Structure 1
Amino acid sequence: MTENRPVAIVTGATGGMGTEIVRDLVRTHRVIALGRRDDALAALAAETHAEPRRLDVTDRDALAALSSDLDRVDVLVHAAAVGDHISVEDATEDDWLRMLSTNVVGPALLTRALLPQLRASAATVVFIGSGAGTRPVPGSAVYTASKHALRAVADVLRLDEERHRMRVVTIAPGQTDTPMLRAGIPAESYTAERYIRPATVAASVRYVVDLPADAHITDVALRPRQEIARL
């Protein structure tokens, strides 16, 4: 039975990290898995018994509808993201709007829509950031800017919601073995073992969710065991 379990929402649930986060959290939570692909959501639900819901984080009406359907949220994990390596020289206005809308504006508006439930539960909100949110990445101005901005959203939200005892965490993985990463690296030079496993990111989410109630971790920086740039 899931009725008495704490409720977790995971965006980007069918992505490399999001899937592993859902697989881990269903052990203890009623998980609502949000994603854009019906077939992948159905497969994930069959495997994990998470509750699938097709939702694009850029769909403002869908965010409001989700909030109206829920009276409790204990954990919110923002794992949905898009990422392309585009420089200032090459980026179009559409590139900027698409990435900022998905990576920054969508998470901010979903959090706002769920604030009553999050406050009532003294919830944990996890933003899946990136190493690009703490350092510049050559040739990747748009994605880097979006992850810097997402970290700023998390940092201000933490201050603003402190009176409600909400925990707000940024987990910033370095290069992680996901389809998004594979799409940007030639197959002949891709070595999966060099990168962080998505399950390790999920384990980090679990760690901050299970932390005792008297404290919270604000930032987690995950790096590959060997820095890729030095290999």
Structure 2
Amino acid sequence: MTTPRPVTLITGASGGIGSALARLLAPTHDLILTGRGGAALTRLCADLGAQPLPLDLTHPETFAGVVGGLGRVTNLVHGAGVVDLGAVAGQDHMVWTHTLAVNTVAPAELTRLLLPRVRAEQGTVVFVNSGAGLRANAGWGSYAASKFALKALADALREEEAAHGVRVTSVYPGRTATPMQQKVRAQEGAAYTPEAFVQPETVAATIAFALNAPRDATLPDLSVRPGPQGNP
């Protein structure tokens, strides 16, 4: 009997790490992709034969109606995220609410809704975190708080779902050559030099390794840092 291909849902697939991961997995996984929408996501889904999924991550209360009609889901990769740098004294509640909604609440709600499907497949949930999820520096308060909370979500989920055969991995990339990093460098008033950072394909390969690892292994936390030539 032929083993069915895993079905992997990736958020943040319009560009950066999510897009690189989708292209890497396409030969062996069936893909469900969500992102900011628009031409980039449409082209990617057409190129890869992937199913687009329209999700507004700022409104997790709308997810149930969107994902209710999905079939199998083996793996769930949370790759979407937003960042706005600023001191605690300078960021009002709207920045914090938006950042936490997209980076923490949306992954929690999407995971909750899809867990029965992932359990049925004994699949894997991957949270793309950040070095800021392990250490909070000045100017990174709202983003780091959302990523610290994402780590807590992953750690709790890992213990809760072990009995169901669901694996949970957090990936902590260092500075990665993505559009988000380009925005960060602009906010920092610094030059964006992609060659100085981890490439999105490298982080994608790390995520793919976690998804495809033999069942006798669980990879709870994986850090991906720039190599010796990097100068973040």
Q: TM-score, normalised by structure 1?
A: 0.93
The 3-state SS of whatever aligns with 2:90 is coil
- Matches of 2:30 and 2:192 in 1, distance apart? 36
2:140 is aligned to: 140
Structure 1 unaligned spans of 5+: none
Q: Deviation digits for residues 102-142 of structure 1, max 9, x if unmatched?
A: 00000000000011101111110000000000112221100
Q: Which residue identity is paired with 1:201?
A: V
Q: Which residue identity is paired with 2:67?
A: S
What is the correspondence of 1:71-150 to structure 2 with a 5 Å cutoff?
71-150=71-150
1:207 is aligned to: 209
Q: What is the Cα deviation at residue 8 of structure 1?
A: 0.5
Matched residues, percent identical?
42
- Matches of 1:117 and 1:34 in 2, distance apart? 18
Q: What is the Cα deviation at residue 67 of structure 1?
A: 3.1
Q: Deviation digits for residues 168-202 of structure 1, max 9, x if unmatched?
A: 00001010000111112248722211100000111
- Matches of 1:11 and 1:61 in 2, distance apart? 16
Q: Which residue identity is paired with 1:215?
A: A
8 Å contact kept, 2:83–2:184: no
How well do the aligned residues superpose, as a CA RMSD in angstroms? 1.7
8 Å contact kept, 1:124–1:168: yes
8 Å contact kept, 2:60–2:105: no
1:171 is aligned to: 171
Q: Which residue identity is paired with 2:52?
A: P
The 3-state SS of whatever aligns with 1:161 is helix
1:216 is aligned to: 218
Q: What is the Cα deviation at residue 210 of structure 1?
A: 1.0
1:181 aligns with 2:181: yes
8 Å contact kept, 1:5–1:28: yes
Q: Which runs of 4+ in 1 moved over 6 A?
A: none
1:13 aligns with 2:13: yes
8 Å contact kept, 2:54–2:66: no
- Matches of 1:11 and 1:152 in 2, distance apart? 19
- Matches of 1:37 and 1:86 in 2, distance apart? 27
Q: Which residue identity is paired with 2:217?
A: A
Q: Which residue identity is paired with 1:183?
A: K
Q: TM-score, normalised by structure 2?
A: 0.92
Q: What is the Cα deviation at residue 214 of structure 1?
A: 1.2
The 3-state SS of whatever aligns with 1:35 is coil
